[in-house]
C-alpha cells in the first residue's frame, strides 16, 4: 500500500522524486520523527542523520543521508529540502572512511574556532556516510 | 568582376570559418547540455524553498528578519549584472545591456552596478555608477564563490548602505530562447495580496519544530544564496544556448556563402573555357579559308 510520496531535493541534485512510502523516519534537530499517512501539517528543521523511507509491501525500503535542511509534510506529500543528500548505494565507502580519517586528524591539530566547526561538521558527515553505507549489508 | 583565383582563395577561407563555427557549435551544445541539467536539477529545490518561506512567513505573525525589512526611505540600490565573459553568442549580452539600461532609465533609485562577466560591463560601464567586478578562479563560478558574492551584497543591505539588492540576468527558457530580467532579491517582500491568498489557502497553521522563527532564520539566508545561484545557473545555460544557436546560423551562412561563391566561380570558369574554344575554332576556320 502506497500511502504518500516523498521528495528529497538538494541545491545540486534531485535525489528522489515522488517515491512511494508507507512510513518515514526523519531526523529533526530535536530527535527522530516518524511520519505516517495523514500526518498533520508540519514544518520541521532537520539535523544531520539518516532518512529512512519504508516502502511497505510493494516497494523497497530506501535509506538517504541528509545534512541540515527542512522537512515539510502537507497533504500526504513529504518534501525534504536538504543541503546535501545521498542514497546509500551512491556512497563510496572507501572515500568516506578516508575523509573521516582526514577530518579527525585535522581536529587533533590546533585550530581556530571557525575551522573547528568546519571539521566537526566534516567528521559528522563522514561518520554518517560510513554508517549509512554499512546499512547495505 | 572577381577572377577565378580570387574566388578560390575566398572559398578556402570561408571553409576555414565554417570549420571553426561548426566546432564552436558542438562545444556549446555539450556545455549547454551540462548547464541545462544543472539548472533543471536546482530549480525544483529553489521553487520549493521559496514556496515554503512564503507560506510560513505568511502564516506566522509578528515575525521579523533583516532580509524582510523594507526601508522605503533608502533610495540606494545594488544591482548585480550576470553576463558572459565571451562574445559570439548572438544577442545574449547586448539584450541584457539593453534591459539594464532601460531599467536604469525608469527607476528613481540611486543604483550602483556590480558585475559578473565582463561583456555587459564593457558595454555599459561608462554610463553607470560602477561597483565591484567579480571574477572567479575558473571560467564558471562555483557555489561557494557565488555564496561569497551573496554575503558581500547581503552585508551592504544589512548595514543599510543600500536599501535594495537586485539582480539582472538572462533567464534560460530553452536552447534557443532566453529572457533578460531584472529581479529583486532583497528585501524579500511578500505581496499583501499573495499573503492574503496564502492565508485563505491554508486556513490552518502548520506545526513547527522547533519553532517558526528558528526555521525561517535558517531558510531565509539559504533562499537568498539559492536564488543568486539559480540566477547564475540560468545565465550560464542561456549563454551556451544562445551561443549554440548563433553558431548554428553562422554555419548555415557559411554554407550558403560557399555555395554561391562556388557557383560564381564555376560560371566564370565556364565562360573562360567557352571564350578559349571560340578563339581556337575561329583561328582554325581562318586558316582553312
Which of B49, B205, B208 is opposite residue A81, by nearest beta carbon?
A: B49
- Closest of A64, A58, A70, A68 to residue A131, by C-alpha: A64
pLDDT band at A2 (very low <50, low <70, confident <90, very high): low
Which DSSP state fits A135? G
Which of A14, A17, A43 is opposite residue B215, by nearest beta carbon?
A: A43
Same domain, A30 and A80: yes
**Contact between chains at B208 and A42 (C-beta distance less than 8 A):** yes
Average pLDDT over residues A125-137: 75
Beta bridge partners of A27: A32
Quick: pLDDT tens for B76-110: 899 999 999 888 888 899 999 999 999 999 988 88
Same domain, A83 and A104: no
Quick: pLDDT tens for B116-163: 988 999 888 888 888 888 888 887 888 888 888 998 999 998 888 888
Same domain, A16 and A83: yes
Shortest distance, CA A40 to any CA of chain B (angstroms): 8
Q: For position A136, what pLDDT does the model report?
A: 58
Q: Given CB atoms, is B210 within the 8 Å cutoff of chain A? A: yes
Q: How far is CA B159 from CA A73, A91, B129, B154, B221, in A?
A: 36, 42, 20, 9, 16
**Contact between chains at B207 and A33 (C-beta distance less than 8 A):** no
Shortest distance, CA A82 to any CA of chain B (angstroms): 9
The answer to whether the CB of B28 falls within 8 A of the CB of B246 is no
Residue from A81, A85, A118 whose CB has the most chain B CBs within 10 Å, to mutate? A81
What is chain B's mean pLDDT, rounded? 88
pLDDT exceeds cutoff 80 at B21: yes
Interface predicted TM-score (ipTM) of this complex, two decimals: 0.81
How much of chain B exceeds pLDDT 70, in percent? 99
Give B143's contacts in chain A (Cβ within 8 Å): 11-12
Q: Tell me the residue range of the domain where A107 lies.
A: 92-136
Quick: pLDDT tens for A52-111: 888 877 778 888 989 888 898 888 889 999 988 888 888 878 888 888 888 888 888 767
Residues 85 to 144 of B: which have CB under 8 A from any A CB? 143
Residue from A47, A70, A74, A84 whose CB has the most chain B CBs within 10 Å, to mutate? A70
Beta bridge partners of B169: B181
As a whole number of angstroms, the distance between CA B14 and CA B276 comes to 30
- Helix/strand/coil for B127: coil
The number of CA neighbours under 13 Å toward the Cβ of B56 is: 32
Q: For position B52, what pLDDT does the model report?
A: 86
Q: Which among A73, A89, A105 is the end of a domain?
A: A89
> Given the C-alpha cell 590546533, which residue does it identify?
A110
Q: Which among A57, A73, A89 is the end of a domain?
A: A89
The answer to whether the CB of B180 falls within 8 A of the CB of B99 is yes
Average pLDDT over residues B32-47: 91
Q: For position A13, what pLDDT does the model report?
A: 85
Q: Are strands B177-186 and A62-74 parallel, antiparallel or unpaired?
A: unpaired
As a whole number of angstroms, the distance between CA B184 and CA B163 comes to 11
Which of A7, A17, A45 is opposite residue B215, by nearest beta carbon?
A: A45
pLDDT exceeds cutoff 80 at B289: no
Chain A residues within 8 A (CB-CB) of chain B? 7, 9-14, 17, 28-30, 33, 40-45, 68, 70, 72, 74, 79, 81
pLDDT exceeds cutoff 70 at B41: yes
Burial readout B170-204 (b: 16 or more C-beta within 10 A, e: otherwise): bbbeebeebebebeebbbbeeeeeeeeebeeeeee
CATH of the domain at A11: 2.60.15.10
**Contact between chains at B48 and A9 (C-beta distance less than 8 A):** yes
pLDDT exceeds cutoff 70 at B217: yes
> Given the C-alpha cell 546499512, which residue does it identify?
A135
Q: For position A137, what pLDDT does the model report?
A: 45
Task: For B68-108, give the secondary structure using H, E and C.
Answer: CCCCCCCCEEEEEEECCCCCCCCCHHHHHHHHHHHHHHHCC
Q: For position A100, what pLDDT does the model report?
A: 85
| Omega before residue B213 within 30° of 0, cis | no
CATH of the domain at A122: 1.20.5.440
Q: Given CB atoms, is B204 within the 8 Å cutoff of chain A? A: yes
Cβ–Cβ pairs < 8 A, chains A and B: 68
Same domain, A108 and A73: no
User: How many domains does chain A divide into?
Assistant: 2
How much of chain A exceeds pLDDT 70, in percent? 96
Same domain, A65 and A78: yes
CATH 3.40.1380.10 fits B24-245, yes or no: yes
Shortest distance, CA B56 to any CA of chain A (angstroms): 8
Same domain, A23 and A41: yes
Residue from A5, A72, A85 whose CB has the most chain B CBs within 10 Å, to mutate? A72
Quick: pLDDT tens for B173-211: 988 889 999 988 888 877 777 777 777 777 777 788 778
Q: Given CB atoms, is B181 within the 8 Å cutoff of chain A? A: no
As a whole number of angstroms, the distance between CA B125 and CA B103 comes to 15
Q: For position B2, what pLDDT does the model report?
A: 63
Cell of B238: 542561456
The answer to whether the CB of A81 falls within 8 A of the CB of B49 is yes
**Contact between chains at B209 and A33 (C-beta distance less than 8 A):** yes
As a whole number of angstroms, the distance between CA B191 and CA B86 comes to 38
Long-range contacts of B140-145 (CB under 8 A, 24+ apart): B140/B236, B141/B116, B141/B232, B143/A11, B143/A12, B143/B229
Same domain, A24 and A56: yes
Same domain, A63 and A9: yes
pTM as predicted = 0.82
Amino acid at each position: 500500500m502506497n500511502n504518500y510520496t516523498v521528495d528529497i531535493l538538494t541545491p545540486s541534485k534531485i535525489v528522489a522524486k515522488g517515491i512511494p512510502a508507507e512510513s518515514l523516519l526523519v531526523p529533526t534537530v530535536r530527535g527522530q520523527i516518524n511520519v505516517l499517512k495523514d500526518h498533520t501539517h508540519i514544518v520541521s528543521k532537520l539535523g544531520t542523520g539518516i532518512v529512512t523511507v519504508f516502502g511497505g509491501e510493494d516497494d523497497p525500503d530506501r535509506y538517504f543521508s541528509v545534512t541540515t535542511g527542512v522537512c515539510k509534510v502537507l497533504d500526504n506529500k513529504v518534501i525534504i529540502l536538504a543541503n546535501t543528500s545521498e542514497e546509500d548505494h551512491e556512497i563510496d565507502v572507501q572515500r568516506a572512511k578516508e575523509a573521516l580519517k582526514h577530518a579527525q586528524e585535522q581536529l587533533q591539530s590546533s585550530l581556530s574556532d571557525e575551522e573547528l566547526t568546519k571539521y566537526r561538521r566534516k567528521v559528522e558527515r563522514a561518520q554518517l556516510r560510513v554508517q549509512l553505507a554499512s546499512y547495505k549489508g | 568582376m572577381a577572377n577565378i583565383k580570387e574566388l578560390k582563395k575566398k572559398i578556402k577561407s570561408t571553409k576555414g570559418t565554417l570549420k571553426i563555427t561548426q566546432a564552436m557549435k558542438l562545444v556549446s551544445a555539450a556545455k549547454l547540455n551540462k548547464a541545462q541539467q544543472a539548472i533543471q536539477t536546482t530549480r525544483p529545490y529553489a521553487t520549493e524553498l521559496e514556496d515554503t518561506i512564503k507560506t510560513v512567513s505568511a502564516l506566522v505573525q509578528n515575525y521579523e528578519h533583516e532580509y524582510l525589512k523594507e526601508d522605503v526611505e533608502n533610495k540606494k540600490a545594488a544591482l548585480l549584472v550576470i553576463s558572459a565573459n565571451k562574445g559570439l553568442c548572438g544577442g545574449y549580452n547586448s539584450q541584457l545591456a539593453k534591459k539594464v539600461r532601460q531599467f536604469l532609465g525608469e527607476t528613481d533609485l540611486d543604483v550602483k552596478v556590480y558585475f559578473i562577466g565582463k561583456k555587459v560591463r564593457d558595454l555599459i560601464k561608462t554610463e553607470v555608477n560602477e561597483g565591484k567586478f567579480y571574477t572567479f578562479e575558473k571560467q564558471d563560478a562555483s557555489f561557494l564563490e557565488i555564496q561569497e558574492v551573496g554575503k558581500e551584497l547581503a552585508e551592504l543591505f544589512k548595514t543599510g548602505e543600500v536599501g535594495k539588492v537586485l539582480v539582472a540576468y538572462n533567464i534560460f527558457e530553452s536552447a534557443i530562447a532566453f529572457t533578460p530580467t531584472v529581479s529583486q532579491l532583497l528585501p524579500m517582500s511578500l505581496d499583501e495580496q499573495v499573503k492574503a491568498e496564502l492565508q485563505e489557502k491554508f486556513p490552518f497553521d502548520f506545526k513547527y519544530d522547533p519553532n517558526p522563527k528558528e526555521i525561517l532564520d535558517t531558510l531565509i539566508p539559504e533562499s537568498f544564496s539559492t536564488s543568486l545561484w539559480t540566477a547564475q545557473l540560468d545565465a550560464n545555460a542561456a549563454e551556451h544556448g544562445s551561443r549554440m544557436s548563433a553558431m548554428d546560423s553562422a554555419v548555415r551562412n557559411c554554407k550558403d556563402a560557399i555555395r554561391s561563391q562556388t557557383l560564381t566561380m564555376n560560371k566564370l570558369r565556364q565562360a573562360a573555357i567557352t571564350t578559349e574554344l571560340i578563339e581556337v575554332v575561329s583561328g582554325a576556320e581562318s586558316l582553312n579559308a
